[in-house]
A = this chain, B = another copy of it.
Amino acid sequence: MNRVERVRAGETASIARMISRIERRSDGVADELAQLHRAGGHAHIIGVTGAAGSGKSTLVGELTAHYRRAGRTVGVLAVDPSSVFSGGAILGDRIRMSALSGDDGVFIRSIATRGALGGLSRAALDAITVLDAAGKDVIVLETVGVGQAEVDVISAAQTVAVVSVPGMGDDVQAIKAGLLEIADVHVLNKADRDGAQKAYAELRDMLRFAPRTDWEVPIQRTVAATGEGVEELATRFDEHHEWMSRTGELNRRARRTAATRIRWMAEEIVLDRLRDGEPEFDREVDQVADMSTDPLHAAQRLIGAL
């Protein structure tokens, strides 16, 4: 079997190697991703975001265990733009400590690129393609939600869950407000803590400012440390998926992601060709520099020659 076939067979080591190839933009990976893309479209892609300290990672672990008990396979991708190097170690610990280690139905991985934030969003999107083609039933994309970069990453998800905890103060309220418009499900974690009822009421009040659709954004209380509310949270996700399928929203989100993927790919193809040292490019640069042609016609010729 070739690399693509081994990924499609769900081999854990082959999936890991393919994602490393994506992070490094190895030769031939664009073509492999093209094949993998056509083999996908099965997974429910769930984004989980929220401030550090919200217990997000524990929640994702419990959610994964729940899905496994229900017989569903899971891929987890952790994206933390602010901490490219620590992510892997933390995840490694989590896997070793977890009952899930050794289970081929689960794949857990952090995504790291040393380049621009755009590169990280793109690597995350490509890793989803891999896990989808590998047949995972659920893909969980976990980010630390603080800025626009994380919002870009999380927008690749079909269902977005924003995690809050009681008593995080005004700063966190601002973050929640920023994430409000992308949340399909709100999670109030550590719901056994003091102040949980107040935080729930605040969240509910904030939801009045959310854009109106016929999907009523639920607030699910959880205590990730004990697993309380996790099964119900999975049900909320299923309900959202069912609503998206029924209303055409699933297709609308798939189209949005497809448009992003096509634009990124086109950009890569064009800039790859318009690189110093490429003979056609250098020839056009010479002629634009000496005014014998102009940038518009040079660009048209270069694109036409692709």
Among A265, A274, A286: residue with most chain B CB under 10 A: A265
- A259-274 Cβ-contact flags toward B at 8 Å (1 or 0): 1011111111111001
Residues of the B chain whose Cβ atoms lie less than 8 Å from the Cβ of A257: 289
Stretch at the interface among A175-183, A191-199, A219-227, A297-305: A297-305
Nearest chain-B residue to A251 (Cβ)? Answer: B289
How many of these chains are in the complex?
2
A1 CB–B CB distance under 8 Å = no
Once bound together, how far apart are the Cα atoms of A266 and B284, in whole Å? 12
Nearest chain-B residue to A264 (Cβ)? Answer: B295
Once bound together, how far apart are the Cα atoms of A34 and B293, in whole Å? 8
User: How many A residues, CB 8 Å from partner?
Assistant: 50
Residues of the B chain whose Cβ atoms lie less than 8 Å from the Cβ of A241: none
> Is the Cβ of A34 less than 8 Å from the Cβ of B297?
yes
A296 CB–B CB distance under 8 Å = yes
Question: Which residues of chain A from 7 to 54 have any CB-CB distance to chain B below 8 Å in the complex?
Answer: 30-31, 33-35, 37-41
Contacts A254-B289, A296-B30 known; A266 to B262 CB distance under 8 Å?
A: no
> Is the Cβ of A262 less than 8 Å from the Cβ of B295?
yes
> Is the Cβ of A296 less than 8 Å from the Cβ of B31?
yes
> Is the Cβ of A294 less than 8 Å from the Cβ of B255?
no
> Which 8 pairs, one residue from A and one from B, show the smallest C-beta to C-beta distance?
A258-B288, A265-B299, A261-B295, A37-B294, A34-B294, A254-B289, A34-B296, A266-B299
